[in-house]
Amino acid sequence: MQYLFQGWNARGDERYKDLILDTGTEELGHIEMISTMIARLLDDAPVNEQEKAAEDPVIGAIMGGMNPHHAIVSGLGAMPEGSTGVPWSGGYIVASGNLVADMRANLNAESQGRLQVARLYEMTDDRGVKEMLSFLLARDTMHQNQWIAALKELEKEHGVTVPSTVPKEWEATDFSYDLLNFSEGEESKEGSWTSGKTPDGEGKFGYVKDPQAHGGKQELKSAPSYMHGTPPTKKDKSGIFK
């Protein structure tokens, strides 16, 4: 759904719009594949096969009652839910209208997706399931690479910092390129992110060993009485709260 909404909302270069919608349409096919796999795995499974499957700790936990939805709710079919029965939500969708930001979100999604498919591959010895997962691994390889390729084009044209349209006078540029050290040691200093030219080509990295606060101590005033919050504390003449 993320790809579809990105594509439907895309403005400008039709290449990126088509790329995103091509991938979104393909992913609908992947959902159908996985749904069919789930139904076939659940359909008419003989008792001896169920007992054998239950020896696997993961499958045994499901058959033991942790996730009865497949039998009770969907009649041995797939549902738009996670492995723990939590329904899918549109809240995960990233469709910001900024192609650089969206492509990075897509790359992350495909990276996490391929990681989880690889873990599923390790968890099964079913030849048919492995064959399907092998296909999904391959397609996720393509999707990661296509987003990387698209990002390189977009970053070359629009820059690497999102959004690239922010006027410099809006930004407190004294703080734009320094890594602030809040660790006990200084291991984070030993990286390409603390020295040399920045990827956006507009500055040089710096490292602040002991960052200091800018501004005084902040104290909130009491909330309005109608909020019935904690009453304000008062200090006596010696400065002690009472």
User: What are the residue boundaries of the structural domains of the chain, listed by start?
Assistant: 2-158, 168-208
The annotation status of 22 as a binding-site residue, yes or no, is: yes
Task: Quote the CA–CA distance of 173 and 1 in Å, as a whole number.
Answer: 37
Strand partners, 81: 87
Output the pLDDT for position 241. Answer: 56
> Closest by alpha carbon to 199, among 152, 166, 167?
152
pLDDT in tens, 11-57: 989 999 999 999 999 999 999 999 999 888 877 655 566 566 666 66
Decide which of 135 and 41 is more confident. Answer: 135
Q: Is 18 labelled as part of a ligand binding site?
A: yes
110 phi/psi in degrees, rounded to 5: -70, -35
69 is in an annotated binding site: no
Is the model's pTM score more than 0.85? no
Residue 62's pLDDT band, with cuts at 50, 70 and 90, is low
Handedness of CA 41, 42, 43, 44 (dihedral sign): positive
Determine if residue 35 is labeled as part of a ligand binding site. Answer: no
Which are the contacts of 127, defined by CB distance < 8 A and separation ≥ 6? none
Question: Does 102 appear as a known binding residue?
Answer: no
183 is in an annotated binding site: yes
| CATH C-level class of 2-158 | mainly alpha
Q: What are the distances in angstroms from CA 96 to CA 82, 100, 113, 163? A: 25, 10, 21, 11
Return mean pLDDT, the chain: 88
| Residues facing 206 on adjacent strands | 178
- Is 185 annotated in a binding site? The answer is yes
- Residue 106 assigned to a binding site: no
Does 231 score more than 60 pLDDT? Answer: yes
Mean pLDDT of 165-193: 95
Q: Is 143 annotated as a binding residue?
A: yes
